[in-house]
Amino acid sequence: MNPLATLDDPILALATAPGRGAIGIVRISSPQPLEGLIHALFGQALQPRHAHYLPFRDAAGQLLDQGLALHFPAPHSATGEHVLELQAHGGPVLLDLLLARCLETAAPAEGPAALPRLRLADPGEFTRRAWLNGKLDLTQAEAVADLIDASTEAAARSASRALAGAFSQGIAALRERLIELRALVEATLDFPEEDLDFLEQARARPRLAALEEALAALRARARQGVLLRDGLRVVLAGQPNVGKSSLLNALAGAERAIVTPIPGTTRDSISESLQIGGLPLHITDTAGLRRDEDTADEVERLGIARSWAAIAEADAVIFLRDLGRRGQPEYDAADARIAAGLAEAGAHTVLAVWNKADLLDTPPPEGALSLSTRSGAGLEALRQRLLQAAGAQPAGEGSFIARARHLDALAATAGHLAAARALLDAPGAPLELLAEELRAAHDALGAITGHTTADELLGEIFGRFCIGK
């Protein structure tokens, strides 16, 4: 955020995407009333929450355009402040003129209706003000950006549910149960002379167990939400000429990678984004893996190094093999070296897949998958295996979008609850420590919705928004 800007400034921005379009919207949000600006622009008042078809003129009174003006007095607006929206034709030059007209109109003037000067909004500043004014919590604010960036229908619907509060409601329910449990512990600390075991009488252990169970269910849904938002990063790995580029083309349904019989054709990583069952899939074809001594091509060596770097960052690796060369000692030894390298690189999810099943009747090893990139046989089974490996579930009515930071906070909450359970079960354990673990769990949940959030995190979240949101 601009260090010279303050949240007391009236702001404006183009709320529609840059470029030509049928409609362009200029949005203004201000803590102060906007009647002075409205009168300067149109010479009349606007009825709240009604669309007015009016001429838009420059400072000299020359007609710029005709369009709709809508006034939303606070607090009944998207940001909770006074908001004015101008809907004009979507020409870039016209919209620049309209922005300039608003900026100069808002210069300091005399009288009670005067406004301080408008400034252009920072990225995400409209949504940030909505959060500050209680119109959204932090998960809903993030869902605004996720809805805009959604790459699949399932992701868009899940982001919409998060924006409507599905995730927030789950967090709120957990926080309420935590508050009840904390109150029991605090009561035991505050009234030790009563000689009453409040925790036993109030069934604190079963309450904590039920809380952990509910948290586990929410974490599972959040993991699915992260998959819907970020997708699955899959790398195709294997020896040269096993069909990795052909598999990429088959999955993408287009000729994205060059395919030739020449070993080492693919020398750099080629990526393609697609979707399987509503899950975004970012698949990368890499250079064929072999030892440096087996190639004299320096460019290919660099490509192989990039292949291993991509493997280290992948969520899943498809280890593609040539079924027709299975059993050849030299080929099997090279495959064994690749398998060892995958383990060393930390590839947790490796799918063993055998290609060229259409050329012979040799079955693959038990538990492995065979396919033919030429005929397409086995491709659907591979898609389903990828979904299983990712732990993806059908995006139903209860799904919502989530982010990696949400998973981290939920994991921290689970850790504090586990520590609290250990203290509760330990004879003579200090109740102060139990109270502290429950407080830390409560704060970790609050960080998700913004009840306990550092300013640095807020800058990171809202700084990624587009201008005008």
Ligand-binding annotation for 262, yes or no, is yes
Strand partners, 342: none
Phi-psi region of 364 (alpha: psi -120 to 50; beta: other; left: phi over 0): beta
Does the annotation flag 346 for ligand binding?
Answer: no
d(CA 144, CA 164): 10
What does residue 120 show for φ and ψ, rounded to 5 degrees? -70, 140
Residue 419, annotated as binding a ligand: no
Both tokens assigned to 388: 């299983």
Distance CA 386, CA 394 (A): 13
Say whether 133 counts as a known binding-site residue. no
> Is 242 annotated in some ligand binding site?
yes
258 is in an annotated binding site: no
Task: Output the six-digit token pair for 427.
Answer: 């004879």
Residues in the chain, total: 469
User: Is 234 labelled as part of a ligand binding site?
Assistant: no
425 annotated among ligand-binding-site residues: no
The reply, when asked if residue 449 is annotated as ligand binding, is: no
CA atoms within 13 A on the CB side of 104: 9
Distance CA 439, CA 333 (A): 55
List, in sequence order, every residue forming a beta bridge with 317; answer none if it has no partner.
235, 350
- 259 annotated to bind ligand: no
CA 154 to chain CA mean position, Å: 13
Distance of CA 275 to the CA centre of its chain: 16
* 135 annotated to a ligand binding site: yes
286 among annotated binding-site residues: yes
Estimate to the nearest angstrom the gap between the alpha carbon of 22 and the chain centroid.
29
Burial 12-40 (b: 16+ CB within 10 A, else e): bbbbbeeeeeeebbbbbbbbbbbbbbbeb
253 assigned binding-site residue:
no
Q: Considering Cα of 81, then 82, then 86, then 87, what sign does the dihedral take?
A: positive
In terms of phi and psi (left: phi > 0; alpha: psi -120 to 50; beta: otherwise), the region of 273 is beta
Is 358 annotated as belonging to a binding site? yes
Is 459 part of any known ligand binding site?
no
Would the annotation count 260 as a binding residue? yes
- DSSP reduced 3-state for 341: helix
Residue 85 annotated as binding site? yes
DSSP state, residue 463: T
Numbered residues of the known binding site for GTP: 241-246, 260-266, 285-288, 355-358
Numbered residues of the known binding site: 27, 85, 135, 241-246, 260-266, 285-288, 355-358, 469
Numbered residues of the known binding site for Mg(2+): 245, 266
Numbered residues of the known binding site for K(+): 241, 260, 262, 265
Numbered residues of the known binding site for (6S)-5-formyl-5,6,7,8-tetrahydrofolate: 27, 85, 135, 469
